[in-house]
Copies of this chain bind each other. A is one copy, B any other.
Amino acid sequence: MKVVHLDKVEKTRPEMEGAEGVYKQLPISKEDGSPIFSFRVFTIEPGGHTPYHTHPFEHLNYVIGGRGAIVNENGDEEEVCEGFFSLILPNEKHQYKNTSDSEDMVIICAVPKEYE
């Protein structure tokens, strides 16, 4: 069993080409013995965004705080805020954008442990 508050988890700048103003935390991963999945947390600063990209694995997301948009593979944007869940399927093009002027957007991004 591992129990940890997000505030106690190291925050790093991920190496993600095309990302702007993004920090990463890794509260649960294979390092903790998680058999299949990892829980990452991305903090996206005002005006920041994740890459508009695809990858061969899915992710499951939850918006912990702030507000922003998810861009889908057609370039359409859907507004999200605290309380939204999303499922991005393998190879589905997507991006998370913080559309606020003042508030961080914070999201859980759960991925198969092989990827993080």
Contact = CB atoms under 8 A, between A and B. Distances in A.
Interface string A10-46: 0000000000000000011000111111010000000
B39 A84 contact: no
A104 to B, nearest CB: 14
Interface residues of A, number: 39
Interface of A: 1-7, 9, 27-28, 32-37, 39, 58, 60, 62, 64, 70, 72-73, 78, 80, 83-90, 92, 94, 108, 110, 112
Q: Which 9 residue pairs across A and B have the least CB separation, nearest first?
A: A27-B85, A2-B87, A3-B86, A28-B87, A6-B83, A5-B84, A5-B83, A3-B78, A37-B37
